[in-house]
Structure 1
């Protein structure tokens, strides 16, 4: 399989409904919950790309462009941005859809670096 095919196959889509248990006192999605879901999506994307164990090294430039109101639908899309020797940088974008309206908008974006590890928790080569 070519690198381009692996990159395309690794793209990960996760859909969620924003229920009240995920919101804050402003009735918008809690930022910590958003970061958790983005980290999970980054992990799934890295795993699908390399089929190795991963740990997160860093999150970079997470930008909250608009709040996510309760009773919304969101889609998280993870894609591989960069392939290093032992690490991957994964971009995760979140798109907001109102349940009863057409259209969608990108509302959050960020990058996460994950390191591939072996059973002894030591870094290993990606490819």
Structure 2
């Protein structure tokens, strides 16, 4: 599927941390939604909106100074739905060790100028 994979990297800075000094889950979800949006937009070449987030799994905390890579992939389409799997992979800068930290499934829908769902 052309345009169906998007990758984005970020560094975890202090402003993104929670009270446990790890990446705040709400910020992680925002970044993942952005990657899902870009992935679905490139795939459909239409205006899209997020309609559902499903199967969110947090596997490991992400500490300050870590690099994260967000990878979005279109996994399924039907009617007015584009399903995008998004993974956040953490990478320890000094060792290069990587692990899956978070994953979720986002469902987005193409919409018309009235923000009504349209077929892909």
Q: TM-score range by the shorter chain?
A: over 0.9
Which structure 2 residue ranges, 5 or more long, are not aligned? none
Q: CA RMSD in A?
A: 0.8
1:15 is aligned, of 9, 12, 16, to 9
User: How many angstroms apart in 2 are the aligned matches of 1:40 and 1:100?
Assistant: 28
Pairs within 5 Å for 1:82-93:
82-93=76-87
Given the alignment, which residue of 11, 22, 33 partners 2:27?
33
Q: State the match for 1:63 in structure 2.
A: 57
> 1:76, CA displacement in angstroms?
0.2
Q: 1:95 matched to which residue of 2?
A: 89
Aligned positions, number = 120
Higher share of residues assigned helix: 1
Q: 5+ residue gaps in structure 1?
A: none
What is the alpha-carbon distance in structure 2 between the residues aligned to residue 26 and residue 86 of structure 1?
A: 40
Following TM superposition, the consecutive aligned residue runs of length 4 or more in structure 1 with deviations greater than 3 angstroms are none
Q: Provide the TM-score with structure 1 as the length reference.
A: 0.91
CA displacement at 1:103 relative to structure 2: 2.5
